[in-house]
């Protein structure tokens, strides 16, 4: 081996050590930088014509477990979705009141029954009459409040869709731009660009659940849950939607008025799943419309059953009669009735009508028995209307042996596609309690899902950091090794220099 060759090998060693030291320094400096992945410099031994020729420093390599990174991104979407669901349902829960505190919708209906029972004991007592009217007012107000909370949450979901579409578009354009640079090799530090792209993918994963398939040439394929391929184009936005005001009867699809989400002009709303965007869609189009329908059915059946027994205790907001609960829910005036229900003006003006009744009832073979109101100056101890309210309006039958029609559990929502997760009870108080329990259980389930998702993400993140993060102690130990290697290569060069000097001295 010539001295020139040995010197070249030593110089390549020094150059490799310098790159290694520079990369180790970069790792240490970015140990706390979010999204930074530990990097190493690839080295390859060179042999030319069966002679050693030193080494070559290759591209910077990232220490990344791509399978683990994919699971971590998925967990981000799961946690983001659970957080959205919990946030939206918490507002509804606060209006419902906690089970057991005596202030839920079911409790309010039960309290109305208790007030009528007390009135039965003293039908002429004006105080008891006013107390029963106040109990009915509490039910109407609670229905109004729950309906308003559901509407507010649904509007928040619609607004969230608009926000998340914008966020997803920004992430997609950033991913596309970085992918172009990575593929072309014109962006400088390739490993650093891949770190940036991973952060953009992580942000997109929170908006919608995706799978990122990385190709050897630096290209990337993004597949949303359900098989929807997201094209990458840095020059334009791919997803689109529009703001909207959400009314109880609004829905997406068919003849609905709510905007969908389009990809290159094609409606893909039904294919969006996971992440904040998917959860906002699910809440706007499925969960919350079902809540609204169930709450409306409490209001409709409560008002209708009193009215059919001879007491117009509740009316629509304009004072008109209550909606017909016998017709299908979708497209009827039942939609949104929980937000419009009011105490009847006649009963509000004269609470004694809760004892006397407001109108006559014609007997029906399968419905209520006939009824004639207590006339002015009639018996002060008149209890027939109160008995009908307790036994039938608030009971499971329209008359003895004739059960009320079953409260709808399917065909719900403004488009008629939704189904309740429980079998409707016959008594309105029991049905109201079932509605409250189901909706509060959803919030509890969302909180549990969020806790589990946060735990899983934390565990995956810890594993990722352990494998791909910067261990400062390990980096410092590696720098000591590189320092020793530098000294060794420098010693080789120094020795070679001395040999050259000796050789030149001989030649003189």
Confidence band, pLDDT 50/70/90 cuts, at residue 320: confident
Confidence band, pLDDT 50/70/90 cuts, at residue 6: low
What is the number of other CB atoms lying within 10 angstroms of the CB of residue 347? 24
pTM of the predicted structure, to 2 decimals: 0.87
Segment 223-248 mean pLDDT: 90
Segment 123-130 mean pLDDT: 96
Percent of the chain with pLDDT over 70: 82
Segment 201-221 mean pLDDT: 90
Residue 321, pLDDT above cutoff 90 = no
Give me Rg for the CA atoms of the chain. 36
Q: State the Cα–Cα distance between residues 101 and 115, nearest whole angstrom.
A: 18
Lowest mean pLDDT among 119-133, 307-321, 335-349, 480-494: 480-494
What is the number of other CB atoms lying within 10 angstroms of the CB of residue 227? 8
* pLDDT at res. 392: 97
Residue 496, pLDDT above cutoff 80 = no
Residue 77, pLDDT above cutoff 70 = yes
* pLDDT at res. 292: 98
Q: Of 372, 412, 377, 406, nearest to 388 (Cα)? A: 372
pLDDT digits (tens, 9 = 90+) for 54-67: 566 656 667 778 88
Provide the mean pLDDT of the chain. 88
- Cα angle vertex 461, ends 455, 467, to 5°? 145
- Cα angle vertex 67, ends 61, 71, to 5°? 125
3-state secondary structure of 145: helix
Segment 358-387 mean pLDDT: 95
Query: Residues 419, 287: contact at Cβ < 8 Å?
Result: no
Q: State the Cα–Cα distance between residues 112 and 311, nearest whole angstrom.
A: 14
Confidence band, pLDDT 50/70/90 cuts, at residue 187: low
The contacts of residue 459 (CB under 8 Å, 6+ apart) are: none
DSSP string over 145-209:
HHHHHHHHHHHHHHHHHHHHHHHHHHHHHHHHHHHHHHHHT-SS-HHHHHHHHHHHHHHHHHHS-
């Amino acid at each position: 081996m010539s001295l020139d060759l040995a010197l070249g090998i030593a110089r390549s060693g020094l150059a490799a050590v310098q790159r290694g030291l520079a990369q180790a320094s970069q790792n240490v400096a970015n140990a706390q930088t979010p999204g930074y992945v530990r990097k190493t410099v690839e080295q390859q031994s060179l042999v030319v014509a069966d002679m050693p020729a030193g080494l070559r420093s290759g591209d910077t390599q990232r220490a990344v477990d791509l399978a683990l990174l994919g699971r971590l991104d998925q967990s981000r979407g799961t946690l983001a979705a659970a957080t959205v669901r919990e946030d939206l349902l918490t507002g509804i829960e606060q209006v419902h009141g906690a089970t057991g505190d005596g202030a839920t919708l079911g409790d309010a209906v039960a309290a109305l029954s208790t007030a009528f029972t007390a009135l039965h004991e003293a039908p002429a007592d004006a105080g008891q009459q006013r107390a029963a009217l106040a109990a009915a007012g509490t039910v109407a107000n609670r229905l109004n409040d729950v309906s308003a909370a559901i509407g507010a949450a649904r509007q928040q979901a619609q607004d969230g869709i608009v926000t998340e579409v914008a966020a997803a578009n920004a992430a997609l354009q950033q991913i596309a731009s970085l992918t172009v640079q990575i593929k072309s090799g014109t962006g400088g530090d390739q490993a650093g660009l891949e770190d940036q792209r991973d952060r953009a993918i992580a942000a997109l994963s929170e908006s919608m659940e995706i799978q990122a398939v990385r190709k050897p040439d630096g290209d990337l394929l993004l597949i949303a849950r359900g098989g929807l391929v997201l094209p990458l184009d840095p020059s334009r936005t791919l997803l689109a939607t529009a703001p909207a005001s959400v009314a109880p009867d609004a829905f997406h699809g068919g003849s609905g008025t709510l905007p969908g989400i389009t990809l290159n002009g094609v409606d893909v709303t039904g294919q969006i799943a996971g992440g904040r965007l998917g959860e906002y869609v699910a809440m706007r189009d499925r969960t919350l419309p079902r809540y609204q329908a169930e709450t409306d059915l409490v209001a409709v059946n409560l008002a209708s059953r009193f009215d059919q027994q001879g007491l117009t205790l509740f009316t629509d907001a304009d004072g008109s009669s209550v909606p017909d609960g016998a017709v299908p829910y979708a497209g009827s005036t039942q939609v949104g009735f929980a937000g419009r229900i009011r105490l009847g003006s006649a009963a509000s003006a004269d609470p004694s009508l809760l004892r006397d009744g407001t109108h006559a009832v014609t007997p029906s073979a399968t419905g209520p028995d006939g009824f004639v109101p207590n006339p002015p100056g009639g018996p002060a101890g008149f209890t027939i209307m109160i008995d009908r309210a307790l036994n039938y309006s608030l009971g499971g039958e329209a008359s003895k042996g004739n059960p009320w029609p079953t409260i709808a559990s399917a065909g719900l929502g403004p488009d008629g596609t939704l189904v309740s997760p429980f079998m409707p009870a016959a008594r309105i108080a029991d049905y109201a309690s079932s509605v409250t329990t189901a909706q509060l259980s959803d919030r509890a389930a969302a909180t549990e899902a969020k806790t589990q998702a946060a735990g899983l993400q934390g565990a995956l993140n810890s594993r990722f950091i352990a494998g791909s993060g910067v261990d400062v102690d390990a980096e410092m130990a590696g720098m000591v090794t590189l320092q020793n290697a530098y000294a060794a290569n420098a010693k080789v060069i120094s020795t070679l220099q001395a040999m050259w000097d000796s050789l030149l001295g001989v030649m003189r």
